[in-house]
Amino acid sequence: MNWNEQEWHWTNESRMVILTGAGVSAESGIATFRDSGGLWENHRVQDVATPEGFIQDPNLVIEFYNQRRAELAGVNPNPAHLSLAALQKKLGEERCFLITQNIDDLHQRAGSSQVLAMHGELKKIRCLNNKNHVIDFEGKQTRDTLCPECSSLMRPHIVWFGETPFEMDLIFERLRNCTHFIYIGTSSVVYPAAGFRDIARSSGAKILCINPDGSGVPSSDFLIVEKAGEALPALKLA
C-alpha cells in the first residue's frame, strides 16, 4: 500500500491522469469549500452555491464570488502545484492530464499548460442565457456586468450543487485510457469524482492516493499519508 517506485512501473508508453482537490489549495491558504456545519465562509451553501440561491439573491451570490476572486491575489502556488506543472511539462499534456476540483487559478499560475477545471473557474463568468458565452474576468462583477454577446445577466462560471461538472465525457475518456491515476488532496467520496478510481482501475490503471488524513486506503494501490506539497517534490512519478 505504501509508495514503491518499482511497482509504480512507469514506462515510455504510460499515460497519467491526475485529480486534485481542496487539500492542495488549502496548503496555499485557500479555505476548503465548506465546513462540517454546511457553511462556506459563514454562508449557507444553499444560498451561495446553488442555482436557486442565485435566483433568490443574485447580489449576494455575485458579491460572494467577488470576495473569493479577490482573495486569490493574496495566495500563491505551493510546491504541489509547481511539482505537477513540472511533471506535465516533462511528459506533455497527452501523457499527463490534469483535472482539478478547485476553482482557483493556482495550477495555471504554477505553469500547468493544461488544466481541466471540472467545477469551473473563479476568474471566469458566463451568460445566463447562453452557457457558451464565457469570458475571462478578474474584476468586481455587478448586476450591470452584462454578456458582451447578448447583453444578458452574467453568473459566476462555477458548477453549483445540482449541476453537472464540466467536460465529463472527456474526463471519462481519459480515465478509460490511462495507465496511472493519482488523486491528491481529496477524499474522492462525492460523485462523480468518487467513481474516477473505479473507471481507471477497470482499465488496469495503477492508483496512487496522496492525502494527509489517509483516506483512499481501500481502493488505492499506493497511499502516501503526507501533504501534497511535501510528498510530490520528492516523488519520481515518471
Q: Indicate whether this model's pTM tops 0.85.
A: yes
pLDDT tens digit string along 154-174? Answer: 999 999 999 999 999 999 999
Sort strands 206-210 and 39-40 into parallel, antiparallel or unpaired: unpaired
Q: What positions carry a catalytic annotation?
A: 119
Q: What does CATH list as the number for 39-74+126-158?
A: 3.30.1600.10
Residue 192 reports pLDDT greater than 80: yes
pLDDT tens digit string along 77-86? Answer: 999 999 999 9
pLDDT at 127: 96
Residue 191 — very low, low, confident or very high, per pLDDT cuts 50/70/90? confident
pLDDT at 218: 58
Q: Which whole-number Å values give the CA distances from 195 to 108, 175, 183, 201, 228, in the listed order?
A: 25, 10, 12, 10, 21
Whether domain 5-30+77-119+165-234 has CATH 3.40.50.10470: the reply is no
57-61: long-range pairs with CB below 8 Å, 24+: 58/143, 58/153, 58/155, 59/143, 61/155, 61/156
Same fold, 5-30+77-119+165-234 and 39-74+126-158: no
pLDDT tens digit string along 25-74? Answer: 999 999 776 555 555 777 888 999 999 999 999 999 999 999 999 999 99
Number of CB atoms found within 10 A of residue 138's CB: 12
